[in-house]
Copies of this chain bind each other. A is one copy, B any other.
Amino acid sequence: MYFIHMIPGIRMTAPSHLSALTTRNNRLFTLLLERELKKTGLRSGQVPVLQALQDGKTLNQKALADFADIEQPGMTTLLARMERDGLIQREPDPADRRSTLVTLTLDGQRKSRNIVPIMEHLTDTALKGFTPLERDILVTLLERINSSLKSQL
């Protein structure tokens, strides 16, 4: 059981358009993330793939789509671009001829090492002035929303 004291800015008003807030939130995040990633030759959509395949791991495209939480066709086109850009390799799965195994190239491995510091810096920027408790409350509330929305799918 936890208590919050003095969260600055609390107004006790009805939420302004929550979806407009989260849309704006996400676009700002993506914009700044793209800006940082650009220096290393990466794009925002590639981040989950690079993280899932770190340390030489191998996954098929379905597993990557599940990890990134996007639909399969989106992952297929994303991986096609990443292969074109030399970040990943695709090879047929000998154990299941429907399946394609994906691994990072050496260049993909090298570039993926920039992601964690970039994400940490971005998170710090976003949560500037937040107390640790406020950070946890935010994450908790967002996860509750995501759970509520997901249950409506």
A126 close to B145 (CB less than 8 A)? yes
Q: Is the interface of A mostly helix, strand, loop or mixed?
A: helix
Q: Which A residues, 87 to 144, have Cβ-Cβ distances below 8 Å to chain B?
A: 119, 122-123, 125-130, 132-144
Q: Which A residues, 1 to 48, have Cβ-Cβ distances below 8 Å to chain B?
A: 1-33, 48
* Selected contact of A26 from candidates B26, B133, B135, CB within 8 Å: B26
> How many chain copies?
2
Interface size on A, residues (CB 8 A): 64
Look across to chain B and name the residue whose beta carbon is closest to the beta carbon of A148. B128
On chain B, the residues within 8 Å of A26 by CB distance are: 19, 22-23, 25-26
B29 close to A136 (CB less than 8 A)? no
What is A's interface to B at a CB cutoff of 8 Å? 1-33, 48, 69, 119, 122-123, 125-130, 132-146, 148-150, 152-153
| 11 cross-chain CB contacts under 8 A | A8-B140, A9-B144, A17-B123, A21-B139, A21-B142, A22-B142, A23-B29, A28-B146, A28-B153, A32-B153, A127-B145
